[in-house]
Structure 1
Amino acid sequence: MTNIYLNRWFSVSYHYMNMIRDNPDRQLFKFYGTHPDPSHLSLQACDYSEQEPVLHGTEYVDYAVNFCKRHKIDIFIPRLKMLEIAKEVHRFDAIGTKVMVCRDIELLECMIEKDQFYEKLQGTGVVPIPEYYIVETAQQFKEAYETLIGNGHKVCFKPTNSEGGMGFRIIDNNMNPLENLYSWVSLSVPFEQVYDTLSAVEKFPKLMVMELLEEDEFSIDCLADAEGKLITAIPRRKSSGRIYIMEDIAELTQIACNVAEKCRIPFVYNIQVKMNKGIPKLLEINPRMSGGLYITCLTGVNMPYLAVKTIMGQPFEQPKPQFGVKASYIEKPIIMKE
């Protein structure tokens, strides 16, 4: 029996735990989870769970180490506080817990702070980077906006260290405020409204102001070995609504190969790119299992389980994804465990 711990994950980790549990080799696993919300859906797939305290820095690492020690955890798959955990990963090594995390601290910091990662890849030829500017004042925001408009771009912005779509907004000066009130909640916002809001403070947390990428969006889910050597990469195109299509696109596979060669990210990670004028440009790289990985795995490649086999040092055949899969998802009711 192998004990696996996932800390404060998204709800989709419910799928990942069950994908590892329902493996073709009939290996036995016991899952442990923690979350500040004891009724969080991710914990419903766990064999054991407990309410996680709100801690920061070394105190949080202390908690995670003690949890792993108490429950004899073999594999720890962190989402929260990955950087802090990676910095003290030797403490987990000392108690025999393998941690599924990037140990290159400088690289991990870059991936978390998107502006630093853009700087790292700028001009390397690994992947095209959108035109962007980092701003901390309203005047800088205005100058960046005007430069991008002058270069023929539509404009968007987001925090440099956000996760997923948090804080992402599109500048749209043609919005009708009344019509907007009667419509769906929108990501669009007029320039003047943003500028007035930012002008209310002398300085604000860093924003990345960048060209809006208007065409197809792709997530490239990647599986690598512990040294960062790429095993497989599967592009997933976001189509209309909830529709996704897994496609064999040589240009995107080459980007995944370039990223793997340059960065050597281990285990499972996700490269997000978006097309603009036919050119795939980088949005971000997430050094963890993506929120949509369970859809990508419909190609027949069980990435969560293969990542577990990788960290355990167990060999497996080269996975062969079945491309051309068109997929979606629906809500499924489950009875909550007490």
Structure 2
Amino acid sequence: MKKNVHIYFNRWFSTAYHYMNLIRNNPDGLEVKIFGTHPDPRHMSLQACDYAEMEPALKGMEYVQFCLDFCRKHEIDVFIPRLNMLDIARHIHLFEEMGTRVVVCRDTELLEMLMEKDQFYQSVKATGVMVIPDYEVVRDAEGFKQAYEKLLALGHRVCFKPTNSEGGLGFRVIDDTRDPLAELFGLSTRLVSFRDAYQALSSVSEFPNLMVMEQLTGLEYSIDCLASREGELLAAVPRRKAGGRLRLLERNEELLAIAEEVARTYRIPYNFNIQMKYNGDIPKLLEINPRMSGGLHVTCLSGINFPYLAVKEALDGDAGPLTPDYDILASHIEQPMLMTDWS
């Protein structure tokens, strides 16, 4: 393995700051130099970089070419993309031709399906690998109304979310018992009345695909997973909220079995995250993210350095065998720090 490995993160979340430091402070003593790009030169993720640049507002092949030029200029060994992951995966051969390994799912058909939640739900329904919530996909206000009424008739509380979004963006719960005045003086909320949602959606003839689905009311888990380049599961750790800022890294055999089955069925490489929520005794799929999750740095308290091991797997395919520690209660605190302005 190369003595000093150059690793590049393009536009990532703030928590990439932790991923970068986990890679830098690896147990093998591997020397790394970390590079980053982001449109905001003061972004938190860049604070862990050894070198950073501002990222231009580009799309498609123009953005891929920017990443290629950056990798060539800085002799990048491992590229860990988030923004425009699908476009990058479609042109992965261009990176590999110059010696850059890309930590991404190279099965672009699968990657595209994972990014469109309704398409992936159809696949899961066909394979039976997990249970999915009752749902309908709609594109106009009347379709939204019909889906809402259908789910309501099945006895569900109803929520909705765009089929192509990350995290909680666009997620709302329909609640006709809410008190708008109380909300005005309280905390911001994801609750919305059917009337307000319907009125807003009726303002256009058609909108991007919206998934209207049953609201799951039980415990929610993020299962952080690490797989080999070929998609063989190496480690999985279920993580759930345990009140306030507390997180529990739990040995949940049911969810660990689901992670194994997902890996066997879809062969997602490197880091991925399965989000599930219980309805009664049944865990149901929310989504799968084919990347490191926002809370992965907490999961690394299990003794598994997920970000570094993905890099190691990309370089020499030798990340396992791995045995996580479970039943760990964890939390986090803020810490003041001096900032670097990369502009």
Quick check: TM above 0.5? yes
Q: Which TM bucket (shorter chain)?
A: over 0.9
CA distance in 2, matches of 1:273, 1:49: 35
- In the alignment, what sits opposite 2:11? 8
CA contact (8 A) 2:249 2:327 kept: yes
- Residue 340 (structure 2) pairs with residue 337 (structure 1): yes
CA distance in 1, matches of 2:33, 2:148: 51
From 53, 64, 67, the equivalent of 2:67 is 64
From the superposition, tell whether residues 186 and 213 of structure 1 become closer, same or farther in structure 2 (CA, over 3 Å).
same
Moved over 3 A (4+): none
CA deviation after TM superposition for structure 1 residue 123, in Å: 3.7
Matched to 2:67, the amino acid is A
- In the alignment, what sits opposite 2:30? 27
- In the alignment, what sits opposite 2:298? 295
From 304, 309, 312, the equivalent of 1:306 is 309
Provide the TM-score with structure 1 as the length reference.
Answer: 0.99
CA contact (8 A) 2:228 2:319 kept: no
- In the alignment, what sits opposite 1:173? 176
CA deviation after TM superposition for structure 1 residue 316, in Å: 4.4
- Residue 45 (structure 2) pairs with residue 38 (structure 1): no
- Residue 118 (structure 2) pairs with residue 115 (structure 1): yes
- In the alignment, what sits opposite 2:278? 275
- In the alignment, what sits opposite 1:322? 325
CA contact (8 A) 1:216 1:239 kept: no
- In the alignment, what sits opposite 1:50? 53
CA distance in 2, matches of 1:194, 1:288: 31
- In the alignment, what sits opposite 1:211? 214
- In the alignment, what sits opposite 1:81? 84
CA distance in 1, matches of 2:194, 2:242: 28
From 137, 140, 143, the equivalent of 2:140 is 137
SS of residue matched to 2:187 = coil
CA distance in 1, matches of 2:93, 2:312: 21
CA deviation after TM superposition for structure 1 residue 228, in Å: 0.3
Q: CA RMSD in A?
A: 0.8
CA deviation after TM superposition for structure 1 residue 74, in Å: 0.3
CA distance in 1, matches of 2:145, 2:168: 22
CA distance in 1, matches of 2:40, 2:191: 31
CA contact (8 A) 2:274 2:287 kept: yes
SS of residue matched to 1:312 = helix
CA deviation after TM superposition for structure 1 residue 239, in Å: 2.1
CA contact (8 A) 1:299 1:321 kept: yes
> Over residues 69-104 of structure 1, what are the superposed CA-to-partner deviations in whole Å (9 max), with x where a residue is unaligned?
000000000000000000011110111100000011
CA deviation after TM superposition for structure 1 residue 317, in Å: 4.5
CA contact (8 A) 1:223 1:268 kept: yes
CA deviation after TM superposition for structure 1 residue 289, in Å: 0.4
> Over residues 19-41 of structure 1, what are the superposed CA-to-partner deviations in whole Å (9 max), with x where a residue is unaligned?
11111111100000000000001
- In the alignment, what sits opposite 1:91? 94
From the superposition, tell whether residues 244 and 55 of structure 1 become closer, same or farther in structure 2 (CA, over 3 Å).
same
CA distance in 2, matches of 1:160, 1:315: 36
CA contact (8 A) 2:238 2:250 kept: yes
- In the alignment, what sits opposite 1:250? 253
SS of residue matched to 1:170 = strand
CA contact (8 A) 1:6 1:33 kept: yes
CA distance in 1, matches of 2:88, 2:116: 16
- In the alignment, what sits opposite 2:193? 190
CA distance in 2, matches of 1:123, 1:316: 32
CA distance in 2, matches of 1:21, 1:314: 19
SS of residue matched to 2:147 = helix
CA contact (8 A) 2:36 2:52 kept: yes
Which range is displaced more, 172-181 or 217-226?
172-181
Which range is displaced more, 306-315 or 78-87?
306-315
- Larger relative contact order (CA 8 Å, sep ≥ 6): 2
CA deviation after TM superposition for structure 1 residue 196, in Å: 0.7
CA distance in 1, matches of 2:126, 2:76: 42
CA contact (8 A) 2:226 2:233 kept: yes
Q: Which runs of 5+ in 2 are unaligned?
A: none
